[in-house]
Amino acid sequence: MKLTVFEWESVCGTDLDPSGLKAFGEVKFYGKPDPREVADLVGDSEVVICSKVAFTREVIAACPRLSYIGVMATGYNNIDLVAAKERGITVTNVPDYSSDAVSQMTLAFILQFATNLIRYDASTRRGDWTRSALFCYYPYALTELKGKTLGLFGLGSIGKKVAKVADALGMRVIYHARTKKDLPYEFCDKETVFRESDYLSLHMPADAETGGIVNRETLGLMKKGAYLINTARGALVVEEDVAEALKAGRLGGYAADVLSVEPQLPDCPLLGLENCILTPHIAWAPNETRERLWDILLGNLDAWCKGAPQNVVNP
């Protein structure tokens, strides 16, 4: 069997061993390809492993032997599932491998806003405390999380973990989701979550219903000085509206591990803004998380080879 692997180093870096794939057949590794060259690089391979490479109807039609696409991620909107199913191509993903890591990043953002840790570190390195006339030096706001309200949009595996830690910190947890959960948190309508949250964190997929859910109107519902955290999808947020709210001081801060266009464009409206923290889509990337992803990915491929596919997204 022939396998083509795209974006290996982007997902698995230099610290994971790709040799496990070689047990399945002849493997070709490529980085991020020119979209016009994808079909040629696949050639006569039966199996493709990829992360963000687009497999459109046209690309799929140009890969006559392709029978399996293993996505090295939870999201799979880069694959035309209808075209794949019409061709009898099995598409699998890697679900719920990064919940611990992404919830950890979410709490790190919340704690940064509450403690101003980054500012205090930079200030101390500059010698500001040394030069201070007083021993007690706290020019940046410090806030206790106990008693504050954390609003969650979406209460899947990641949202539940964030809620559990927030609850342990003494925060009031409210949420909005498609369905009410049997959990000890307050289920609210969308408007209530925007209005009552001191910290609002997004944990939902981006689709026709949720795209742009954070916009000028909904930002206007939020408390002055509230904080917004996005470790889900950049498309959930109208970035120009968030930038406007930050500049006007209506929004206390915005922290995002995801952007509407990744990597960010030079004219991204959020770059360089005060109280705006941006990280390059790394919440999922701890070594332990990527090892888990790799184990599940190999398990998916092995199950398909044995005729009992798992984690199929186009049944």
Identical fold, 2-97+289-305 and 99-278? yes
6-39 pLDDT, tens digit each: 998 877 777 778 788 889 999 999 988 999 999 9
**pLDDT at position 129:** 93
The CATH homologous superfamily to which domain 2-97+289-305 belongs is NAD(P)-binding Rossmann-like Domain (3.40.50.720)
- In percent, the amount of the chain with pLDDT more than 90 equals 88
Structural domain boundaries in the chain: 2-97+289-305, 99-278
123-178 pLDDT, tens digit each: 999 999 999 988 899 999 999 999 999 999 999 999 999 999 999 999 999 999 99
**pLDDT at position 134:** 86
Is the preceding peptide bond at 184 cis, omega within 30 degrees of 0? no
Which residues, 6+ apart, have CB-to-CB distance to 296 below 8 Å? 94, 97, 311
Range 236-261 average pLDDT: 97
Q: Annotated catalytic residue: which of 281, 288, 291, 292? A: 281
Q: Which one has a higher pLDDT value, 166 or 74?
A: 166
* Known catalytic residue at 262: yes
**pLDDT at position 77:** 86
Which residues, 6+ apart, have CB-to-CB distance to 112 below 8 Å? 118, 255, 277
pTM of the model: 0.88
Q: Annotated catalytic residue: which of 58, 144, 262, 288? A: 262
Average pLDDT of the chain?
94
Report the half-sphere exposure of 130 (CA within 13 A, side-chain side). Answer: 7
- Band (pLDDT 50/70/90 cuts) for residue 206 is confident
Domain 99-278 has CATH 3.40.50.720: yes
**pLDDT at position 64:** 94
**Whether the predicted pLDDT of 266 surpasses 80:** yes
Range 209-222 average pLDDT: 95
Range 62-70 average pLDDT: 97
* Known catalytic residue at 144: no
301-310 pLDDT, tens digit each: 999 999 999 9
Q: Annotated catalytic residue: which of 7, 196, 203, 233? A: 233
* Known catalytic residue at 281: yes
